[in-house]
Amino acid sequence: MMPRGIAVINTLRVFRWPLAVLLSLAVSVLFLVLTIKQGLGQSFLQNGDWHTSESTGSAEAGVIDRAVVAIGGLLASTREDSMYYTLRSVAGEPLRLNCRYHIKGNDYDADWWSITAYGWDHYLIPNGEKRYSFNNENLTRGEDGRWVIRVGTQEEDGDWLPVGPSGAPVANKSTGYDFDLLLRLYTPGDAYLQQPESAPLPVVTLESCS
């Protein structure tokens, strides 16, 4: 009868290579996910504080670009059908939960557009109002057609976009920002298709921080 110690050693030898393969696979998957998520933060074209990519939704988009779109939840089709602008900082300062912002704008050359807040994890931010975005059909406008969206954790009058409960902890510091804003433009006009870096966009301003 084989001694117990030798049997254990032989068992470990049998499983050594499968375990090594599984470990290598796990490390590779982790590296791919980190690479893709890093791609979510890369800026391609800049328009003020907003950023967009000419390849998103185009036939020239590579494998990483398509994976970034899938993880980011953009659901991009062709650029002629939809364009996306992301904002993660204002005047170089990352968007923070302890700060208040306002977004000002007018109408834009698109069949439909919206502004949505996402958390650092690229998911919608849970809030008691169950309000996650505003669009060109539900905004409150002034007589001149202009509108203002207030962004922050504290409730405000008018069109308020909550970005989480007041005092909510930030679960991940690796992104460098607490939340971001995504502008969707469906069937955008020529200004966005031909000159996305200079086309008219909403202006986001920092009001105060606690």
Q: Give the DSSP letter string of 111-142.
A: EEEEEEEEETTSSBPP-TT---EEETTT--B-
What class is the 41-209 domain? mainly beta
Q: Among 127, 134, 198, 203, which Cα is nearest to 166's?
A: 127
* pLDDT score of 32: 40
Q: Mean of the pLDDT values across residues 5-23?
A: 54
Residue that wins the pLDDT comparison between 32 and 125 = 125
* pLDDT score of 177: 83
Q: Mean of the pLDDT values across residues 154-164?
A: 93
* pLDDT score of 28: 44
* pLDDT score of 175: 66
Between the ranges 11-20, 28-37, 53-62, 91-100, where is the mean pLDDT highest?
Answer: 91-100
Q: Mean of the pLDDT values across residues 27-53?
A: 62
Average pLDDT, the chain: 77
Residue that wins the pLDDT comparison between 46 and 24 = 46
In three-state secondary structure terms, 202 is coil
175 neighbors 97 (Cβ within 8 angstroms): no
Q: Mean of the pLDDT values across residues 130-138?
A: 95
Q: How far apart are CA 120 and CA 170, in angstroms?
A: 8
Q: Give the DSSP letter string of 24-81.
A: HHHHHHHHHHHHHHHHHT--SEEETTEEE-SSTTSTT--HHHHHHHHHHT-----TTT
The HSE-up count of residue 66 (CA atoms within 13 Å, CB side) is 8
Q: Mean of the pLDDT values across residues 14-32?
A: 50
Q: Is the pLDDT reported for residue 35 higher than 80? A: no
Give, as one character, the DSSP assignment of residue 97: T
Confidence (pTM): 0.70
Provide the sign of the torsion angle of the four alpha carbons 159, 165, 167, 168, taken in this order: negative
* pLDDT score of 30: 43
Q: Mean of the pLDDT values across residues 161-185?
A: 75
What is the tens place of the pLDDT at every residue in 68-115?
455 454 555 566 788 999 999 999 999 999 999 999 999 999 999 999
